Amino acid sequence: MRSMDASSRATTRRTLLRSAAVIGGALATQALAPLGRALAGAPAILKPLPADQFVDFGTNAETRWSSVDPRRYLTPQSRLFVRNHTVTPTIDASSYALKVYGDGLRSPRTAASPVSVTLRDLKRLPRTSLITTHECTGNGRSFFSSQQGTPASGTAWTLGAVGTVRWEGVRLRDLLRHLGLDRDAVSVQATGLDPGYVTGGVDYGPVRRPFPIAKALDDALLAWEMNGEPLLPDHGYPLRLVLPGWVGIASIKWLGSLEVSTTELTSPWNTKWYRIGDQVLTTNPVRSAWELPWGAQLARGRRLDLTGRSWSGAAPIRRVEVSVDGGTTWERAHLGRARERGWTQWSWSWRRPEVGSHELLARATDKVGRTQPLVTPFNDNGYFFDAVVRHPVTVV
Ligand SMILES: Nc1nc2c(c(=O)[nH]1)N[C@H]1C(S)=C(S)[C@@H](COP(=O)(O)O)O[C@H]1N2
Ligand SMILES: [Mo]
């Protein structure tokens, strides 16, 4: 667990950063709410966010790809991005219990008289551990603006709202079978214990999202550990849901309740947000990133060895290609070990790079045949930017 010291240092630092941003006039509209909270003294994110490792957006923070260690497959919990609709709540694990209710249970329960499942109850079920690539729906959003000239609303992530971690917990299907499931159950709604989400003067209530019973009975996990450590408060302590391969919003943190229903459930997080037109967003697209600073200065040589990672919510990565001529010609990158649900590390040797500015392009294809396009069709909320990112570098 973190110390009080680190917490107050982090708060002071972020408060200062935000004040500096106001003075500099560089504050985007979406940063105003976190600014207010920071000045009121309650940071939205509790873990330290060193400036060389994170871009701090207030309630959200992304990992800098330049700080990713190419020798490490998993993202350390301390370095994983954070996406909060409001603020990280502090939850007492000793009095915590997950509430399960709904007419989809074999013995139906109402929200007022749910089954209470403690962490000890959960830990009596068979445990499982699973590596997944965990990613926000809006990862890459800023490239709608910087690369395609069509700004989208929401946090201006570059490519750092992603990480790959090992979760430990129990399968949701084991809990549901243990409690007894009605054969007509179709939908499960997960609700967080964080404060209600207020935007544009409307209180939408606690963050929650429904998902089909098929996903619940397939690979959904109730997790209390990440990479062998208890979840940090920012990542859902003491218990979160994990829906492997799906958009980050599906993995509800600080899981307060699960409603199991024989009718389709809805929430603003699948009717209003996290959809494109008629499509409710579920499986993450294919994306790639270079483990380099934006605008990196690279020392010229006969050969430059570069690294990066690619990932897909649907399947492992089959192929990664690199272009340094704007996409006219492509060369294969060398792929590291393929993992079922995690990202793939790759390396590529740039032979005799010319001095001057260049754009590095990496394009991945997954094992179900999805390839990154050169342009992603625009959508207002800037979801699913999966186009090949043009990463500027200078060879000096
Ligand atoms: N209760 C709750 N769960 C939540 C959120 C939230 O704000 N509240 N944010 C969601 C979103 S949009 C994402 S991308 C992931 C981020 O998980 P992380 O902060 O652990 O990286 O959590 C999801 N689960
Ligand atoms: Mo997200």
* C-alpha span between 143 and 111 (Å, rounded): 42
Which of 280, 301, 319 represents a domain boundary (last residue)? 280
Cα 65 to its chain centre, rounded Å, is: 14
Q: Examine residue 7 and state whether it is found in any structural domain, yes or no.
A: no
Is the CB of residue 252 below 6 angstroms from any atom belonging to ligand 1?
yes
Q: 160 in helix, strand or coil?
A: coil
Q: 223 in helix, strand or coil?
A: strand
Say whether both 80 and 200 belong to one domain. Answer: yes
Query: How much is the pLDDT for 17?
Result: 35
Q: What single-letter amino acid sits at 300?
A: R
Q: What is the pLDDT of residues 255-293, one digit of tens each?
A: 999 999 999 999 999 999 999 999 999 999 999 999 999
Cα 362 to its chain centre, rounded Å, is: 21
Query: How much is the pLDDT for 338?
Result: 84
End-to-end CA distance of the chain: 44
pLDDT greater than 60 at residue 5: no
Say whether both 223 and 118 belong to one domain. Answer: yes
Q: Could you tell me the CATH number of the domain that includes residue 320? A: 2.60.40.650
Is the CB of residue 84 below 6 angstroms from any atom belonging to ligand 1?
yes
Query: How much is the pLDDT for 219?
Result: 98
Is the CB of residue 81 below 6 angstroms from any atom belonging to ligand 1?
yes
Residue 317's φ and ψ, nearest 5 degrees, are -85, 135
Q: How many C-beta atoms surround the C-beta of residue 69 within 10 A?
A: 10
Say whether both 291 and 254 belong to one domain. Answer: no
Say whether both 76 and 22 belong to one domain. Answer: yes
Which of 259, 280, 301 represents a domain boundary (last residue)? 280
Domain that holds residue 94: 13-280
**Sign of CA pseudo-dihedral 21, 25, 26, 32:** positive
Total domains, the chain: 2
Say whether both 264 and 163 belong to one domain. Answer: yes
Say whether both 258 and 312 belong to one domain. Answer: no
Which tokens belong to 87?
């603020």
Residue whose CA is at the smallest distance from ligand 1 atom 23 = 249
Nearest Cα to Cα of residue 307 among 353, 344, 339? 344
Which residues, in sequence order, are CB contacts of 24 under 8 Å at separation 6+?
none
Q: Examine residue 391 and state whether it is found in any structural domain, yes or no.
A: yes
Query: How much is the pLDDT for 13?
Result: 36
Q: What is the pLDDT of residues 304-345, one digit of tens each?
A: 999 999 999 999 999 999 999 999 999 999 999 988 899 999
pLDDT greater than 90 at residue 21: no
CA of 247 to the centre of ligand 2 (A): 7
Poorest-pLDDT segment among 23-37, 142-156, 216-230, 370-384? 23-37
Say whether both 333 and 270 belong to one domain. Answer: no
pLDDT greater than 60 at residue 25: no
Query: How much is the pLDDT for 24?
Result: 31
What DSSP string describes 299-321? ---SEEEEEEEEEESSS-EEEEE
Residues β-bridged to residue 171: 221
Q: Examine residue 2 and state whether it is found in any structural domain, yes or no.
A: no
Q: Could you tell me the CATH number of the domain that includes residue 135? A: 3.90.420.10
Q: Examine residue 47 and state whether it is found in any structural domain, yes or no.
A: yes
Index of the ligand 1 atom closest to the CA of residue 254? 1
Query: How much is the pLDDT for 42?
Result: 75
Q: Examine residue 100 and state whether it is found in any structural domain, yes or no.
A: yes
Q: Examine residue 5 and state whether it is found in any structural domain, yes or no.
A: no
